[in-house]
């Protein structure tokens, strides 16, 4: 098991999540919202963020995977997720998004492929508004332009786990965000 180093502590996460929650509360000025979390990595972030937003809110979840070419966990760790851009929907939202204020909640914005895909999918549901919130952003890895409306932390090109993020389905329950060292 690799040695993990804390990059962002649980206290730093909590105060940044509270700030983003206050921003969303202010920006939506009393309107109801629906949080749409991207499975599975955004589940913990969504749960914490939603409790920092003082608006009427409901939850939904959406699922994606990359078309058969997601690298093995070891390759992913070494080179990142260099998908060819073929993202596929594994679970659509359950509720109607029509004329609603949708807040798409993602754990990490990396190449931008996933959020570009999901933005298209959700706009197809004709919401009243769509905002994107990403807890983490690795701007240096972008392959397609994508900017989230709210970003928790910009981070360097490291593979991170914890607070919902996994390495081969492990470490999602770590309270801090940690760096997995790349093999030398
Ligand atoms: P994108 O389509 O390249 O922006 O990828 C976003 C997805 O890649 C995230 O939802 C994660 O599932 C995965 N991902 C990217 N970087 C990391 C990381 O450092 N740790 C864990 N998962 C990551």
Q: Can you list the domains of the chain with their CATH numbers?
A: 10-66+95-158 (3.40.50.2020)
Taking residue 30's Cβ as centre, other Cβ atoms within 10 Å add up to: 8
3-state SS class at 44? helix
* pLDDT one-digit tens code per residue, 24-63: 999 999 999 999 999 999 999 999 999 999 999 999 999 9
Instruction: Say yes or no: CB of residue 165 within 6 Å of ligand 1.
Output: yes
User: How many angstroms does the Cα of residue 31 sit away from the middle of ligand 1?
Assistant: 31
pTM listed for this prediction: 0.94
Q: CA angle 180-49-6, nearest 5°?
A: 20
Contact at 8 Å (CB) between 147 and 166?
Answer: no
Token output for 136: 């983490």
Instruction: Say yes or no: CB of residue 112 within 6 Å of ligand 1.
Output: yes
- Sorting pLDDT into bands at 50, 70 and 90, what band is 85? low
Asked if pLDDT for residue 77 goes beyond 80, the answer is no
- The closest alpha carbon to 34, from 127, 149, 107, belongs to 127
Taking residue 43's Cβ as centre, other Cβ atoms within 10 Å add up to: 17
Contact at 8 Å (CB) between 134 and 116?
Answer: no
User: How many angstroms does the Cα of residue 97 sit away from the middle of ligand 1?
Assistant: 25
Token output for 37: 């979390």
């Amino acid at each position: 098991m690799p040695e993990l180093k804390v990059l962002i502590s649980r206290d730093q996460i909590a105060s940044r999540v509270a700030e983003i929650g206050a921003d969303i509360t202010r920006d939506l000025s009393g309107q109801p919202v629906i949080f749409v979390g991207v499975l599975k990595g955004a589940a913990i972030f969504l749960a914490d963020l939603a409790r920092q937003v003082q608006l009427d809110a409901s939850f939904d979840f959406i699922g994606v995977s990359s078309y058969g070419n997601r690298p093995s966990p070891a390759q992913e760790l070494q080179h990142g997720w260099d998908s060819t851009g073929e993202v596929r929907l594994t679970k659509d939202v359950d509720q109607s998004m029509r004329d609603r204020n949708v807040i798409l909640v993602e754990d990490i914005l990396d190449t931008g492929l996933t959020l570009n895909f999901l933005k298209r999918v959700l706009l197809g549901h004709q919401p009243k508004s769509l905002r994107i919130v990403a807890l983490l952003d690795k701007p240096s890895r972008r392959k397609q332009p994508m900017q989230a409306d709210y970003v928790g932390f910009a981070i360097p090109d490291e593979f991170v786990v914890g607070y919902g993020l996994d390495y081969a389905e492990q470490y999602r329950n770590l309270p801090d965000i940690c760096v997995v060292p790349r093999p030398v």
